[in-house]
Amino acid sequence: MLVSACFQNRYVQEYIANPSIPQWSVQSVLQNPTVRIEYEQAVAIGGIGECLAATSGKSWGNGPQVLPLNVDDWFFPDRITYRFKEGSLYNRRFNQRRRLKKLLSKNRKLVGDAKSSTKGDFLKYLTADEAKAIRRILGVGPGEFWRAAHGAVFLALPPELKQGELEFPL
């Protein structure tokens, strides 16, 4: 079943047909089919053994479930491909940290500092100017910012503004 689904995947077919990717052949797919390893919050696509080994220490919720590839599952031909489900806690934390960095611009290193240190150490080494910037830009105190950087709370951050394309008549 896993091998059959692998051969039906359009990207597997492309990789086998591509001479610049010699590690992909009918024989290699028969010996080590590419599969989906699904968790509650994420999916890993690759060989069974390598995906299970790479995801064994992850806390992505219930799983793993070893499932066949879908016909349209895109994945990298030379490494494990991870996809995080839209509402996953992991994805929300990642997106919040990325947004915090963008909002703090020149003080973006504070996000990494907060994430990699204890609350006491972070507050101990935080300068008055940095604390002021956190309050001014994000509207929260340094303690709440530390919790947000750890993903313990989710802040109501301003929406990210994106420039849309306008069509102008010629």
pLDDT per position as a tens digit, 104-160: 999 999 999 999 999 999 999 999 999 999 999 999 999 999 999 999 999 998 888
Work out the burial of residue 128: count CB atoms within 10 Å of its CB; fewer than 13 is exposed, 13-18 middle, 19 or more buried. Answer: exposed
> Which DSSP symbol is given to 66?
E
Q: What whole-number distance in Å separates Cα of residue 73 and Cα of residue 53? A: 21
Q: What is the pLDDT of residues 88-105, one digit of tens each?
A: 888 888 889 999 999 999
* pLDDT in the model for residue 158: 83
SS3 114: helix
Q: Number of helices (H) and strands (E), helices first, in the chain?
A: 9, 4
Q: What end-to-end distance do the CA atoms of the chain give, in Å?
A: 55
pTM over 0.75: no
Which sign does the torsion angle of CA 73, 76, 77, 81 carry? negative
Total residue length of the chain: 170
Phi/psi-derived region of residue 79, left when phi > 0, alpha when psi is between -120 and 50, beta in every other case: beta
* pLDDT in the model for residue 26: 94
Q: What is the pLDDT of residues 4-51, one digit of tens each?
A: 999 999 999 999 999 999 999 999 999 999 999 999 999 999 999 999
Adjacent-strand bridge partners of 123: none
CB 38 within 8 A of CB 67: yes
* Tokens 């219930």 belong to residue: 62
